[in-house]
Amino acid sequence: MEGDDSHHRADGDDEVLAHTRRWLEEAVIGLHLCPFASSVYEREQVRCVVERHAAFEGVVERTLDEAARLLETPDDEVATTLVICPDAMESFEVFLDGAATIRYALEASGTDAYLQIATFHPDYRFQGTEPNELGNYTNRAPYPVYHVLRESHVTEAVESHPNPDAIPEDNIERLESMGREAVERMWRQWQPGGEGMPDNLSSTE
Kindly state whether residue 118 falls inside one of the protein's structural domains.
yes
Kindly state whether residue 87 falls inside one of the protein's structural domains.
yes
Instruction: Encode pLDDT of 68-77 as tens digits.
Output: 999 999 999 9
Query: How far apart are the C-alpha atoms of 89 and 12, rounded to whole Å?
Result: 17
Host H or E run for residue 119: strand 115-120
Kindly state whether residue 178 falls inside one of the protein's structural domains.
yes
- How many domains is the chain partitioned into structurally? 1
The average pLDDT across 155-182 equals: 90
Is 10's pLDDT higher than 80? no
Kindly state whether residue 155 falls inside one of the protein's structural domains.
yes
| Cβ atoms < 10 Å from Cβ of 79 | 22
Instruction: Encode pLDDT of 74-109 as tens digits.
Output: 999 999 999 999 999 999 999 999 999 999 999 999
Using the 8-state DSSP alphabet, how is residue 193 labeled? T
pTM listed for this prediction:
0.88
| Cβ atoms < 10 Å from Cβ of 64 | 19
Residue 8 vs residues 3, 5, 44, 189, 205: alpha-carbon distances, Å: 12, 10, 29, 20, 21
Write the DSSP assignment of 47-94 as a string of letters.
EEEE----SHHHHHHHHHHHHHHHHHS-TTT-SEEEEE-TTS--SHHH
Kindly state whether residue 108 falls inside one of the protein's structural domains.
yes
Kindly state whether residue 203 falls inside one of the protein's structural domains.
no
Instruction: Encode pLDDT of 37-67 as tens digits.
Output: 999 999 999 999 999 999 999 999 999 999 9
pLDDT of residue 177: 96
Residue range(s) defining the domain that contains residue 23: 13-188
Is 119's pLDDT higher than 60? yes
Q: Tell me the torsion sign for CA atoms 152, 153, 154, 155.
A: positive
